[in-house]
């Protein structure tokens, strides 16, 4: 018997008047951590709101564990949702907040408090659970929201931009939590507009652009395809002309551009081969190197490759 | 040995049913709502203002109770309107006018015999009592002057000539003076004299005789306060009761002055009585007095209980049902769901397995427990005030009435809460304006109901709430109809006849219990319908 996927979109479109939120999206996700990548306004939040029954699709069908979330709230028993909204009940303590939301799953007060303490402990907030949320840092607030989403041990966790605005320490903490959930066999959906963030969490990604699904699959496979396309490598060094003379005859390099006497842009159509070759050449040249950057290694460039106009 | 626990296929104990889960969700949302309301400044502001209103009303009540009830001249006959030193009641006894200071008890009654008319002879001679209306000369002995004027023996001013052609010396005021030829000039004056009165053109005079004069000492005004009490024997089954203690209706021993048709103004063919009409259970439902019978009772005997009830009814209707009942929901219920959407916190609650329709009911329940608890507490406090400070007697009725007022107000809070919440959902942007307009409408309907309108205000919560209070009062104090009728019939200014009326929506039975049932059902409809409308709106609402 074919099992029902946790999430299924079938030719789903959502318009806000004349503006398209999501355009003809079809996908099914079940198990593991999936990153939803897209620039601001790409339709990530709209996709999640459709999943959570907050919006009704203009076209197509949305299914959450096989049920239309607009018509029924029953699938929410198995879903934990972290919205992008930063608003919270600032006057509540995190224990109060999480246990109240736990009780909405039908738990007794005692059970809800116990589960809330466990969830807050899981996100490393066990020492501040009786402190008012209004006194929390941005990262702590995000973790409270995650605890509230996890408190009923959901099969599916949906996180809308959970790392947005967090400091590096909080980001690492939240990334660890997401990975841990994935390793426990849960289905996790996490959205971001920063490629590097998603890369650190998962390999399975969905890329949205202007409401359309432009890529779905393994990040490495997508990257491999991307590597075959023109890339720039920006090198800051003591003598850019000398370094250019060494690079210009190499196979993966098809051009160089001087920015100034200490900056050089190397153009390649095979990024991985270039990355394997260039370090040894630099070592042989003995030219002091200050920095090496890949300016095209970001979501904008990825989208540029995928849709051709970004 | 304990029985083994039975679990369902998912491993849950069977005690964990759909219903217990619903209870827990309801409990969580109700608790959250109460906590939210507790954390809003506006909540404490509106509760504070409500408490202040009740404290002020209590202060007025306590002040009036401490002062007691002064005797009131309900029929106004202790006043000396014409300034002759005799109160109206005494003038009525002697049949003298209280508009003419020349007539007073013992002054004798003027019986007219003839007149010098406008277009007839201008003079008349004889020994009479004269009433000269305009400028006139009198020649002859001036036997007695009924009114004393300093100028009566003073020489007349030059302005008065012998032809009486000029205007009167002093316009429209009694006056007399001595002419050079020994005659007297008189105007607007009554006097006795044997001689000839000549009246100026265009004026007239009346002459006649005056009955015997005697000295009557003026009664003190207090003698005409509380002098005609209510004469009613509750054990007497007769409908015709009452006695005209001060005699101003019967007037048997005094000259006739008031027309006799007033003697039987209640048209029961018995003059100067009071008709007491009772229901089959013996309770008085109507009192129809003849004029001037039992019209000035001892106020302290009746005002105490009547005013006490008036205070409770006025406070219940205006402070509780009309002010607190409308303003609390306006501040507390309008944003129950709307504010969650605007604050961006609604998704926390709606991403849980809870139906939006349920959510509205639980939110309203939380609001109602909070606001209703406050109202019931306030009504209990008011009950304690009136029980301990009210007039002597069985004050258990106070508790019942205050509890009834509390329950009616809670029903109003529920109805307005669901209406305002639905308006907030209908138009998150303009809901507050719609609610304000609706609040003003409800207040106007309440005022119309207080003024006695029966048809137009039925499409309002306030009308049914006020009727329910009327019915609760009647159930707790069945003799309120009698007190209200007494206030109307005997001029007792307690306000009970203004602010309380027997309930009208009783299908002709007059039963207050039926009125309570009917009012409750209508109020429940007012609560349910907006909830259904709100659920319908909210179910279709996209939450972006």
Q: Is residue A18 part of a domain?
A: yes
Q: Please say which residue of A218, A245, A277 terminates a domain.
A: A218
Does pLDDT of B168 surpass 70? no
C-beta atoms of B348 and A101 within 8 A = yes
Q: Are A54 and B347 in contact (CB under 8 A)?
A: yes
User: Which pLDDT does position B332 carry in this prediction?
Assistant: 94
pLDDT digits 0-9 by tens, B379-388: 999 999 998 8
- Integer-rounded Cα Rg, in Å, for chain B is 36
Interface list for chain A against chain B, based on CB atoms closer than 8 Å: 16, 49, 52-56, 73-77, 79, 81, 83, 85-89, 91-92, 100-101, 103-109, 112, 148
| CA nearest to B232, candidates B486, B497, B479, B502 | B486
* B100-to-A25, B173, B188 alpha-carbon distances in Å: 102, 12, 11
Our CA dihedral for B53, B57, B63, B68, rounded to 10 degrees, sits at 180
What pLDDT band is residue B5 in, cutting at 50, 70 and 90? low
Q: B-chain residues within 8 Å CB-CB of A74?
A: 353
If you measure CA to CA, which chain B residue comes closest to A47?
B544
The residues near B208 (Cβ < 8 Å, ≥ 6 apart) are: B110, B111, B112, B113, B114, B128, B129
Please tell me the predicted confidence (pLDDT) of residue A142: 92
Beta strand A156-159 with A187-192 is parallel
Instruction: Give B524's contacts (C-beta < 8 A, 6+ positions apart).
Output: B411
pTM over cut 0.80: no
User: What gap in Å lies between CA B196 and CA B193, rounded to an integer?
Assistant: 9
Rounded CA gap, B251 and B253, in Å? 6
Per the listing, tokens 């998962």 go with: A202
Burial per residue of B465-474, b for 16 or more beta-carbon CB atoms within 10 angstroms, e otherwise: bbbbbbbbbb
Residue A129, in any domain of the structure: yes
Nearest CB partner across the interface for B544, out of A49, A87, A100: A49
pLDDT digits (tens, 9 = 90+) for B334-374: 989 989 988 889 999 999 999 999 999 999 999 999 999 99
Each domain of chain B, given as residue ranges in start order, spans 47-69+299-540, 110-210
> Is A130 part of a structural domain of the chain?
yes
Q: Which residues contact B35 (CB under 8 A, 6 or more apart)?
A: A91, A92
Give A131's contacts (C-beta < 8 A, 6+ positions apart).
A93, A94
Percentage above 90 pLDDT, chain B = 46
Give residue B166's pLDDT.
59
State residue B1's pLDDT score: 41
A29 pLDDT more than 70 = yes
Query: How many whole angstroms separate alpha carbon A142 and alpha carbon A161?
Result: 10
Residue B486 in 3-state DSSP?
helix
Predicted confidence (pLDDT) at residue B325 exceeds the cutoff of 80: yes
- What is the 3-class SS of B251-265, one letter each residue? CCCCCCCCCHHHHHC
Nearest CA of chain B to the CA of A195: how many Å? 26
Whether B350 and A83 lie within 8 Å, measured CB to CB: no
Identify the three-state secondary structure at position B81: coil
Helical segments of A209-298, H only: 219-227, 240-247, 271-285
Do A271 and A127 fall into the same domain? no
User: Does residue B260 register a pLDDT over 60?
Assistant: no
Question: Given B39, B347, B349, which is nearest A104 (Cβ)?
Answer: B349
Q: What percent of chain A has pLDDT over 90?
A: 51
Pairing of the two strands B144-145 and A289-293: unpaired
How many residue pairs from chains A and B have C-beta atoms closer than 8 A? Answer: 82
- Report how far residue B273's alpha carbon sits from residue B283's, in angstroms, rounded to the nearest whole number: 19
Strand partners, A253: A268
Q: Give the Cα separation of A175 and A104 in Å (integer).
A: 27
Buried b / exposed e along B154-186 (16+ C-beta atoms within 10 A): eebeeebeeebeeebbeeeebbbbbbeeebbbb
Query: Can you give the CATH number for the domain in which A291 is found?
Result: 3.30.70.920
Whether residues A204 and A94 share a domain: the answer is: yes
- Please tell me whether the interface predicted TM-score (ipTM) of this complex is above 0.85: no
Residue of B nearest to A71 (CA): B539
In chain A, pLDDT over 70 holds for what percent of residues? Answer: 98
Handedness of CA B291, B294, B299, B303 (dihedral sign): negative
Query: Kind of pairing, strands A79-82 and A19-29?
Result: unpaired
Tell me chain A's radius of gyration from C-alpha atoms.
Answer: 23
Predicted confidence band of residue B165 (pLDDT cuts 50, 70, 90):
low
Looking at the structure, tell me whether residues A154 and A237 fall in a common domain: no
Q: Give the minimum alpha-carbon distance from B338 to chain A in angstroms, rounded to a whole number.
A: 15
Please write the tens of the pLDDT for every residue from A137-167: 998 999 999 999 999 999 999 999 998 878 8
Contact A52 B542 (CB under 8 A): no
- Per the structure, how many domains does chain A have? 2
Helix-strand-coil percent breakdown of chain A, rounded to 5?
40, 30, 35
Closest chain B CA to residue A145: B348
Q: Are residues A210 and A235 in the same domain?
A: no
The confidence score (pLDDT) of residue B215 equals 87
Give the pLDDT confidence score for residue A310 in this predicted structure. Answer: 42
The pLDDT of residue B144 is: 56
Q: What is A136-186 written as a DSSP string?
A: S-HHHHHHHHHHHHHTT--SEEEESSTTTT--HHHHHHHHHHHHHHHHTT-
| Interchain proximity A148–B348, CB inside 8 Å | yes
CA distance A192 to chain B (A): 19
Nearest to B25 among A75, A91, A103 (CB): A103
For chain B, give the mean pLDDT: 86
Angle in degrees, 0-180, between the axes of helices B325-332 and B356-389, rounded to the nearest 10: 140
The tens digit of pLDDT for each residue in B97-128 reads 788 777 888 888 788 899 998 888 889 999 99
Interval B59-99: pLDDT, tens: 998 888 777 777 888 888 899 988 888 998 888 888 787 88
Question: Is the same domain home to A213 and A235?
Answer: no
A297 CA to chain B: closest CA distance, Å?
A: 33
Chain B residue with minimum CA distance to A54: B543
**Are B39 and A109 within 8 A, CB to CB?**
no
Least confident of A63-77, A218-232, B97-111, B183-197: A218-232
CA–CA separation, A235 vs A248, rounded Å? 14
User: What pLDDT is stored for residue B146 in this prediction?
Assistant: 57
On the 0-12 / 13-18 / 19+ scale of CB atoms within 10 A, B417 is buried
Q: Is residue A62 part of a domain?
A: yes
- Write out chain B residues lying below 8 Å of A77, CB-based: 353
Among A218, A239, A260, identify where a domain stops: A218
User: For residue B519, how many other CB atoms are within 10 A of its CB?
Assistant: 24
Check whether residue A146 and residue A53 sit in a common domain: yes
Proportion of chain B in helix, strand, coil states, percent, rounded to 5? 50, 10, 40
Of A190, A218, A246, which marks where a domain is finished?
A: A218
Q: How far from B527 is each of A84, A107, B311, B374, B521, CA to CA, in Å?
A: 36, 30, 29, 19, 10
**In the prediction, which pLDDT does A1 show?**
46
A302 with A189, same domain? no
Average pLDDT of span B295-316: 87
Q: Are residues A59 and A144 in the same domain?
A: yes
pLDDT band at B331 (very low <50, low <70, confident <90, very high): very high
Identify the residue among A95, A104, A116, A144 best suited for mutation to test binding to B, counting B beta carbons within 10 A and taking the highest. Answer: A104
If you average pLDDT over residues A9-26, what whole number do you get? 93
Higher-pLDDT residue of A112, A277: A112
Q: How far apart are CA B493 and CA B497, in angstroms?
A: 9
Residues on B contacting A at a C-beta cutoff of 8 Å = 16, 20-22, 24-25, 27-29, 31-32, 35-36, 39, 343-345, 347-355, 542-544
Q: To the nearest whole angstrom, how far is the Cα of B29 from the nearest Cα of chain A?
A: 8
Res B258: pLDDT: 45
Phi-psi region of A217 (alpha: psi -120 to 50; beta: other; left: phi over 0): left
Helix (H) or strand (E) holding B174: none
Residue B381, Cα to own-chain centre: how many angstroms?
Answer: 25
Lowest pLDDT segment from B295-309, B426-440, B507-521, B526-540: B295-309
Which of B440, B434, B443 has its CA nearest to residue B530?
B434
Residue A258 CB neighbours (<10 A): 12
Check residue B286 and give left, alpha or beta (phi > 0: left; psi -120 to 50: alpha): beta
Tell me which of A209-213, B70-74, B419-423, B518-522 is least confident.
Answer: B70-74
Q: Which residues pair with A236 in a beta bridge?
A: A263, A291
Q: Which residues contact A266 (CB under 8 A, 6 or more apart)?
A: A232, A233, A234, A235, A247, A253, A255, A256, A274, A278
Token pair belonging to B471:
């019915």
- Looking at the structure, do residues A179 and A211 belong to the same domain, yes or no? yes
Residues B32-60: tens digit of each pLDDT: 999 999 999 999 999 999 999 999 999 99
Q: How far apart are CA A280 and CA B251, in angstroms?
A: 136
In angstroms, how far is CA A20 from the centroid of its own chain?
22
Span A35-68, pLDDT tens digits: 999 988 899 999 999 999 999 999 999 999 999 9
The pLDDT, as a whole number, for residue B463 is 96
Asked if residue A243 has pLDDT above 90, the reply is no
Could you tell me if residue A223 is inside a domain?
no
What is the Cα–Cα distance from B440 to A9, expressed in whole angstroms? Answer: 49
Chain A positions in Cβ-Cβ contact with residue B355 (cut-off 8 Å): 73
Residue B257's pLDDT is what?
45
- Distance, CA of B103 to CA of B190 (rounded, Å): 10
* Residue A262 domain-assigned (yes or no): yes
Question: In this structure, are residues B92 and B257 in contact, taking their beta carbons and an 8 Å threshold?
Answer: yes
Tokens coding B363: 């939110």
pLDDT at A44: 92
String of DSSP letters for B425-443: HH-TTTHHHHHHHHHHHHH
Measured CA angle at B156 (ends B153, B162), to 5 deg: 125
Q: Is A48 or B229 the better-scoring residue by pLDDT?
A: A48
> What residue in B sits closest to A146 (Cα-Cα)?
B348
Q: Classify residue A167: in a domain, yes or no.
A: yes
The pLDDT value recorded for residue B3 is 46
The sign of the torsion formed by the CA atoms of B351, A28, A2, A182 equals negative
Q: Look up the domain containing A260 and give its range.
A: 228-307
Neighbouring CB atoms inside 10 A of A152's CB total 23
Facing residues of B240 across strands?
A: B275
Could you tell me which of A1, A2, A6, A153 has the C-alpha nearest to residue A65?
A6
Strand partners, B7: B13
Please give the full DSSP string across A63-101, using - where no structure is assigned: EETTB-TTT-SGGGGGEEEE-S-----TTSBHHHHHHHH
Cα dihedral angle (A174, A180, A182, A183), rounded to 10 degrees? Answer: 160
Task: Specify the residue for token string 């399975």.
Answer: A204
Cβ distance A49 to B31 less than 8 Å, yes or no, reads: no
Task: Say which of A53, A77, A85 has its CB closest to residue B344.
Answer: A85
Closest CA to B274 of B292, B260, B288: B288
CA–CA separation, B44 and B514 (whole Å): 37
Region B207-226 average pLDDT: 88
């Amino acid at each position: 018997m074919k099992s029902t996927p946790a999430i299924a979109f079938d030719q789903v479109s959502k318009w806000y008047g004349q503006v398209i939120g999501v355009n003809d999206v079809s996908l099914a996700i079940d198990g593991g951590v999936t990153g939803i990548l897209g620039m601001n306004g790409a339709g990530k939040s709209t996709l999640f709101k459709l999943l959570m029954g907050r919006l009704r699709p203009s076209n197509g069908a949305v299914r959450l564990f096989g049920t239309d979330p607009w018509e029924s709230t029953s699938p929410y028993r198995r879903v934990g949702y972290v919205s992008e909204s930063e608003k919270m009940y600032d006057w509540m303590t995190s224990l109060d907040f999480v246990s109240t939301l736990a009780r909405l799953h039908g738990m007794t007060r005692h059970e809800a408090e116990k589960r809330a303490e466990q969830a807050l402990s899981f996100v490393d907030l066990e020492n501040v659970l009786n402190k008012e949320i209004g006194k929390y840092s941005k990262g702590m607030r995000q973790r409270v929201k995650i605890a509230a989403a996890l408190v009923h041990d959901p099969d599916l966790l949906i996180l809308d931009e959970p790392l947005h605005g967090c400091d590096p320490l909080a980001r690492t903490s939240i990334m660890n939590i997401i990975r841990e959930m994935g390793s426990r066999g849960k289905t996790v959906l996490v959205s971001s507009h920063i490629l590097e963030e998603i890369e650190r969490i998962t390999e399975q990604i969905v890329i949205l652009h202007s409401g359309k699904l432009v890529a779905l699959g393994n990040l490495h496979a997508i990257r491999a395809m991307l590597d075959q396309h023109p890339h720039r490598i920006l090198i800051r060094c003591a003598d850019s002309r000398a370094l250019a003379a060494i690079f210009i005859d190499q196979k993966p390099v098809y051009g160089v551009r001087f920015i100034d006497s200490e900056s050089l842009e190397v153009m390649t159509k095979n990024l991985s081969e270039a990355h394997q070759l260039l370090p040894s050449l630099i070592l042989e040249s003995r030219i002091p190197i200050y920095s090496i950057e890949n300016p095209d290694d970001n979501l904008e460039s990825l989208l540029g490759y995928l849709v051709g106009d970004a | 040995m304990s029985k083994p626990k039975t679990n369902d296929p998912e491993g849950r104990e069977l005690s964990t049913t759909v219903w217990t889960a619903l209870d827990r969700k309801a409990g969580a949302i109700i608790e959250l709502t109460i906590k939210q309301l507790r954390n809003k400044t506006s909540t404490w502001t509106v509760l504070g203002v409500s408490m202040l209103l009740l404290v002020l009303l209590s202060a007025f009540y306590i002040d009036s109770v401490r002062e007691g009830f002064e005797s009131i001249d309900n029929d106004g006959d202790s006043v000396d309107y014409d300034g002759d030193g005799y109160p109206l009641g005494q003038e009525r006894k002697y049949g003298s006018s209280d508009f003419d200071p020349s007539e007073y008890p013992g002054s004798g009654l003027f019986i007219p015999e003839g007149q010098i008319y406008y277009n007839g002879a201008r003079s008349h001679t004889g020994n009479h009592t004269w009433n000269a209306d305009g400028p006139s000369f009198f020649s002859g002995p001036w036997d007695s002057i009924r009114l004393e004027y300093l100028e009566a023996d003073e020489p007349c001013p030059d302005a008065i000539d012998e032809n009486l052609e000029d205007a009167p010396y002093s316009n429209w005021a009694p006056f007399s003076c001595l002419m050079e030829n020994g005659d007297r000039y008189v105007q607007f004056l009554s006097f006795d004299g044997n001689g000839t009165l000549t009246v100026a053109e265009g004026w007239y005079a009346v002459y006649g005789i005056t009955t015997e004069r005697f000295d009557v000492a003026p009664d003190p005004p207090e003698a005409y306060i509380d002098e005609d009490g209510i004469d009613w024997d509750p054990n007497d089954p007769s409908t015709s009761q009452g006695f005209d203690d001060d005699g101003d209706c019967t007037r048997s021993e005094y000259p006739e002055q008031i027309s006799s048709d007033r003697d039987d103004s209640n048209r029961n063919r018995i003059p100067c009585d009071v008709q007491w009409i009772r229901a089959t259970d013996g309770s008085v439902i109507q009192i129809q007095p003849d004029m001037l019978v039992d019209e000035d009772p001892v106020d302290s005997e009746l005002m105490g209980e009547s005013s006490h009830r008036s205070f409770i009814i006025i406070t219940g209707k205006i402070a509780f049902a009309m002010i607190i009942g409308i303003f609390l929901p306006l501040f507390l219920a309008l944003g129950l769901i709307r504010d969650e959407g605007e604050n961006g916190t609604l998704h926390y609650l709606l991403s849980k397995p809870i139906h939006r329709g349920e959510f509205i009911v639980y939110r309203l329940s939380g609001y109602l427990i909070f606001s209703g608890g406050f109202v019931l507490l306030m009504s209990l406090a008011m009950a304690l005030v009136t029980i301990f400070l009210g007039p002597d007697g069985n004050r258990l009725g106070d508790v019942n009435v205050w509890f009834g007022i509390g329950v009616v107000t809670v029903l109003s809070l529920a109805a307005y809460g669901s209406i305002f919440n639905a308006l907030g959902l209908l138009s998150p942007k303009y809901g507050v304006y719609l609610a304000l307009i609706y609040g003003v409408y409800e207040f106007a309907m309440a005022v119309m109901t207080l003024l006695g309108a029966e048809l137009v205000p039925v499409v309002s919560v306030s009308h049914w709430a006020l009727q329910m209070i009327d019915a609760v009062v009647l159930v707790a104090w069945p003799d309120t109809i009698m007190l209200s009728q007494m206030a109307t019939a005997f001029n007792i200014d307690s306000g009970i006849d203004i602010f309380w009326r027997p309930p009208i929506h009783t299908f002709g039975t007059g039963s207050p219990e039926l009125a309570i049932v009917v009012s409750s059902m209508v109020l429940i409809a007012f609560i349910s319908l907006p909830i259904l409308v709100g659920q319908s709106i909210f179910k279709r609402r996209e939450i972006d």
